[in-house]
Chains A and B, each alone.
Chain A
Amino acid sequence: MIILNGVTKKYPSGTIALNGINIEIHKGEFVFFVGPSGAGKSTLIKLLMREQVATSGTIMIDGIDIATLKRRQIPHLRRKLGVVFQDFRLLNNKTVFENVAFAMQIVESSKREIVRQVPRVLSLVGLGDKAGAYPAQLSGGEQQRVSLARAIVNNPPILIADEPTGNLDPDTAWEIMKLLKEINHRGTTVIMATHARDIVNYMRQRVVTLEKGRITRDQERGGYGLED
Chain B
Amino acid sequence: MKIRTFGLQFKEGLIGLWRNRVMSLASIGSVTAVLLVLGLSLVLIVNVNSIAEYVESSVEIKVFLIDELDSSQVETIGAKIKQLEGIKEITFESKEQALEKYKKQLGNNNNLLEGLEGENNPLPSSYIVKVEDPNTIGDTAGKISAFEGVEEVTYGKDVVDRLLKSTYMIRIVGSILIGILALISIFIISNTIKLTVAARRKEINIMKFVGATDGFIRLPFVIEGLVLGLIGAVLSSGMLVALYNYFYSIMGRNFGSFFILVSSSLAPFNQTMYNTSLVLLAVGVFIGIIGSAVSLRKFLNV
User: Is B202 interfacial (CB 8 A cutoff)?
Assistant: yes
Which of A71, A76, A78, A106 is within 8 Å of B216, CB to CB?
A: A106
- Mark each residue of chain B from 136 to 177: 1 if its CB lies under 8 Å from any CB of chain A, else 0: 000000000000000000000000000000000000000000
B258 is an interface residue with CB less than 8 A from chain A: no
Stretch of B27-35, B188-196, B204-212, B289-297 lying at the A interface: B204-212
Contacts of A91 in B (CB 8 A): 202-203, 206
Cα of A89 to Cα of B204 in the assembled complex, Å: 11
- The answer to whether B209 touches A49 (Cβ under 8 A) is yes
Indicate which residue in A71, A75, A108 contacts B2 across the interface (CB closer than 8 Å). A108
Contacting residues of chain A (69-115) with chain B, CB-CB under 8 angstroms: 71-72, 75-79, 81, 83, 89, 91, 102-103, 105-108, 110-111
Q: Distance in Å from the Cβ of A87 to the closest Cβ of chain B?
A: 10
A83: chain B residues at CB < 8 Å are: 209-210
Q: Fill in one digit per residue for B203-225: 1 if any A CB lies within 8 Å of its CB, else 0.
A: 10111111111101000000000
Q: How far is the CA of A150 from the CA of B206 in the complex (A)?
A: 10
Residues of A with C-beta under 8 A to B214? 71-72, 75
Tell me the dominant secondary structure on chain B's binding face: helix
Chain A 56-77 against B: per-residue CB contact (8 Å), 1 yes, 0 no? 0000000000000001100111
B4 an interface residue at 8 Å Cβ cutoff? yes
B8 part of interface (Cβ distance < 8 Å): yes
Sampled A-B contacts (6; CB under 8 Å): A71-B214, A75-B212, A75-B214, A91-B203, A106-B216, A107-B211
B13 to chain A, nearest CB (A): 15
Other-chain residue from A72, A102, A111 in contact with B206 (beta carbon distance below 8 A): A102
Does chain A have a CB within 8 A of B1? yes
Does B5 belong to the interface (CB within 8 Å)?
Answer: yes
User: Distance (Å) between the CB of B268 and the closest chain A CB?
Assistant: 48
- Chain B residues lying within 8 Å of A49, measured Cβ to Cβ, are 209
Top 10 closest pairs, chain A to chain B, by CB = A79-B211, A78-B211, A106-B212, A75-B211, A103-B210, A75-B213, A106-B210, A83-B209, A108-B2, A108-B5
| CA of A72 to CA of B8, assembled, Å | 21
Inter-chain CA distance A81–B4, complex, in Å, is 25
| Distance from A72 Cβ to chain B, minimum over Cβ atoms (Å) | 7
A11 to B213, CA, bound (A): 26
Q: In whole angstroms, what is the CA distance A170 to B207 when docked?
A: 30
**Dominant SS at the A interface?**
helix
**Chain B residues close to A by CB (< 8 Å):** 1-2, 4-5, 8, 202-203, 205-214, 216
If A79-B210, A111-B4 are given as contacts, then 10 extra A-B residue pairs at C-beta distance below 8 Å, sorted by A number, are A72-B213, A76-B211, A83-B209, A89-B202, A91-B203, A102-B210, A105-B8, A106-B211, A108-B2, A154-B211
Q: Are A150 and B210 in contact (CB under 8 A)?
A: yes
Q: Do B206 and A78 touch across chains, with their CB atoms under 8 A apart?
A: no
Closest chain A residue to B9 by CB distance?
A: A105
Q: Which residues of A sit under 8 angstroms from B205, Cβ to Cβ?
A: 89
Cα A72 to Cα B5 in complex, Å, equals: 18
Q: Which residues of A contact B209 (CB under 8 A)?
A: 49, 78, 83
Within 8 A of B (CB), among A21-36: none
Give min CB distance, B5 to chain A, whole Å. 5
Q: Which residues of chain A come closer than 8 Å to B213, judged between CB atoms?
A: 72, 75
Q: State A91–B205 Cα separation when bound (angstroms).
A: 11
Q: Are B210 and A78 in contact (CB under 8 A)?
A: yes
Q: How far is the CA of A102 from the CA of B213 in the complex (A)?
A: 14
CB distance from A109 to the nearest CB of B (A): 10
Cβ-defined contact, B208 with A78, below 8 A: yes
A102 to B211, CA, bound (A): 11
The residue on A at minimum CB distance from B207 is: A106
Q: Which of A119-172 contact B (CB under 8 A)?
A: 150, 154
Shortest CB distance A20–B (Å): 27
Nearest chain-B residue to A93 (Cβ)?
A: B203
Chain A residues, CB < 8 A from B4: 108, 110-111
- Nearest CB on A from B143, distance (A): 70
Chain B residues near A75 (CB, 8 Å)? 211-214
Question: Is the CB–CB distance between A105 and B5 below 8 Å?
Answer: yes
Most buried by A among B4, B202, B211: B211
Q: Which residues of B contact A89 (CB under 8 A)?
A: 202, 205-206
Residues of A close to B208: CB separation below 8 A: 78
- Measured between beta carbons, the chain A residues less than 8 angstroms from B212 are 75, 106-107
Residue of B nearest to A73 (CB): B213
